[in-house]
């Protein structure tokens, strides 16, 4: 192959990483660029040598740098405790039922946002309920106010 073909393939692979963030195409692109540059400089001649350079550079860079680059492209969570605390803030909040509960499932309005909700109580549109728990984007609600439960004790 000619050096320009290797370089073009390398650039296309690196640019393709912008669309598919698997963080593998970048390393294949680096290998192709290295093979193209080595061919242009006359360091390799045969197709076998070109493929060896391509393979070695791709595999080495993948093994050494993928984890670091993945955090740049995809991101990472440093403190998962903050997200859990945020979700815990909804517990005890008052919500309005905006869709009748059927077979324990319905919809409620919390802070102006509709949520899927579950309850053992028979709740109808317009009823008021309170959040008892949440799992992800699903709320668990009850008709009993948490304040009235503590006042009976």
DSSP string, the chain: --HHHHHHHHHHHHHHTTT-TTS-HHHHHHHHHHHHHHHHTTS--SHHHHHHHHHHHHHHHHHHHHHHHHHHHT---S-HHHHHHHHHTTTT-EEEEEEEEETTEEEEEETTEEEEEE-SS---TT-EEEEEEEETTEEEEESS-HHHHHHT-
CATH number assigned to the domain comprising residue 118 = 2.40.50.140
- The domain in which residue 129 lies consists of 89-145
Name the domain count of the chain.
Answer: 2
Same domain, 11 and 37: yes
Same domain, 65 and 14: yes
Mean pLDDT, rounded, for 30-47 = 92
**What is the model's pTM?**
0.44
Same domain, 16 and 67: yes
Same domain, 63 and 8: yes
Of 40, 73, 106, the residue that ends a domain is 73
151 falls in which pLDDT band (50, 70, 90)? Answer: very low
Report if residue 83 sits inside a domain.
Answer: no
Same domain, 66 and 9: yes
Flag whether pLDDT at 10 surpasses 60.
Answer: yes
């Amino acid at each position: 192959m000619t050096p320009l073909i290797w370089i073009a393939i390398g650039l296309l692979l690196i640019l393709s990483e912008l669309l598919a963030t698997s963080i593998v195409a970048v390393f294949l692109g680096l290998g192709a660029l290295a093979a193209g540059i080595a061919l242009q400089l006359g360091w390799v001649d045969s197709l076998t040598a070109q493929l060896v350079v391509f393979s070695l550079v791709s595999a080495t860079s993948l093994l050494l740098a993928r984890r670091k680059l993945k955090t740049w492209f995809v991101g990472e969570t440093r403190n998962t405790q903050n997200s859990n605390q945020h979700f815990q803030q909804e517990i005890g909040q008052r919500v309005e039922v905006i869709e009748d509960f059927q077979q324990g499932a319905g919809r409620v309005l919390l802070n102006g946002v509709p949520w899927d909700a579950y309850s053992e109580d028979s709740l109808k549109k317009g009823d008021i309920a309170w959040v008892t728990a949440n799992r992800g984007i699903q709320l668990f609600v009850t008709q009993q106010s948490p304040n009235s439960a503590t006042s009976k004790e």
